[in-house]
Amino acid sequence: MAEINEKITQLVIAGDGALLETMVHMALDTGGNAATILDQALLPAMDIVGQRMKTGEMFIPEVLLAAKTMEAGLKVLTPFLAEGEKSNAGTCVLGTVEGDLHDIGKNLVGMMLSGSGFKVIDLGINVTAADFGKAAVENNAGIVCMSALLTTTMPKMKQTIDHLTEAGLRETVKILVGGAPVTAEYAREIGADGYGFNAADAVEKAKEFAAG
Ligand code: B1M
C-alpha cells in the first residue's frame, strides 16, 4: 500500500489526473482506506507542491494542474470519506474569504460536514463579509465556516466577524475558522467560536456547536 500511496503522491505532483484516478481506484479496490489515502498520499503531495512553489521549482500553471489533479483524486474518495451519519445536524454557510482563491481544503471541509449530516451552503471562493452575512440570514444558518490560506487574507476573517456582529447575528451564529496559516490562538484573538485544525476537526467542532 505504501508503494501505491507514493505513486499517487507523485502523480498529483506531475499533474497526471487520468492515471491518478486509476491509481486511487486501485488503492481502494485493494483494500485501501479512503482517509489513509487522503492523509498519506494526496495531502503530502500538496505539501511538496507548496515547498516547490516556495523555492521556485514549480510555477503557478504547474501548481494549478497539481491542484486540479488533487481534486480529481478527492472526487474518487468523496463517497467513501463522506459516509457518516445522515442526521439533520443544522446548516453551515461555508466559504473561502475575500481575496483568497484556495478551495481544496474548504471543499474537503464541506464534503465532510455534508457527510456528517450538516446542510452545507458553499459560497465558493473570494467571499466577502457581506456575502457571508447575507447567506447566513437567508439560510437561517447556525454556523459560518471560513477558510483562508494566505496570511494576507486572514484579516478578512476578523472583518467578517465584525460584520456579523454589526448585523446582530453573533447571538445566533457560531463562527468556525481554519486554513493552513490559521491557529487556535488567532481564532481566539479575532473572536471566532472555534478553530478546525483539519476537516475532521472542523466537523468535531461543528458537532459541538450543534449540540449546544
Ligand atoms: Co497558493 N499559496 N497561492 N495556490 N498554494 C499557498 C497557500 C502557499 C503556502 C505556498 C507557498 O508559498 N509555500 C502560499 C501562501 C503563503 C502565505 O500566505 N504565507 C501561497 C501563495 C503565495 C499563493 C499566491 C499568492 C501565488 C502567486 O500568485 N504568486 C496565489 C494567491 C491566489 C489567491 O488566492 N489570491 C496562489 C495561488 C494558488 C493556486 C491558484 C495556484 C493554487 C490553488 C488552487 C485551488 O485551491 N483550487 C494554490 C495552491 C494549490 C497552493 C498550495 C500548494 C496547496 C494548498 C492546498 O490545496 N492544500 C499551498 C501550499 C500548502 O498549503 N502546502 C499554497 C491542500 C489542502 C487540503 O489543505 O487548504 O490547508 P488546506 O486545508 C486543510 C487545513 O488547512 C484545514 O483542513 C484541510 C485539511 O483537512 N482547513 C480548514 C482549511 N480550511 C478550513 C476551514 C475550517 C477548518 C479547517 O473551518 C471552517
Q: What is the pLDDT of residues 28-74, one digit of tens each?
A: 999 999 989 999 999 899 999 999 999 999 999 999 999 999 999 99
pLDDT beyond 90 at 20: yes
What pLDDT band is residue 114 in, cutting at 50, 70 and 90?
confident
- Residue ending a domain, among 85, 118, 147, is 85
Q: What CATH number should be reported for the domain holding residue 61?
A: 1.10.1240.10
Q: Which atom of ligand 1 is nearest to the CA of 94?
A: 91
Q: What is the pTM of this model?
A: 0.92
* Candidate from 9, 53, 201, 208 with most ligand 1 atoms within 8 A of CB, to mutate: 53
In short, whether 102's Cβ falls inside 6 Å of ligand 1 is: yes
Q: Are residues 10 and 29 in the same domain?
A: yes
C-beta separation of 196 from 178 below 8 A = yes
| Closest residue CA from atom 57 of ligand 1 | 104
Distance CA 177, CA 179 (A): 7
Q: Which atom of ligand 1 is nearest to the CA of 102?
A: 46
Distance CA 18, CA 14 (A): 11
Q: Are residues 164 and 100 in the same domain?
A: yes
Range of the domain at 125: 87-211
Q: In 3-state terms, what secondary structure has residue 202? A: helix
In short, whether 100's Cβ falls inside 6 Å of ligand 1 is: yes
pLDDT digits (tens, 9 = 90+) for 195-210: 999 998 999 999 999 9
Q: Which is higher by pLDDT, 174 or 117? A: 174
- Residue ending a domain, among 85, 120, 151, is 85
Query: Count of domains in the chain?
Result: 2
Provide mean pLDDT across the span 79-89: 70
Q: In 3-state terms, what secondary structure has residue 149? A: coil
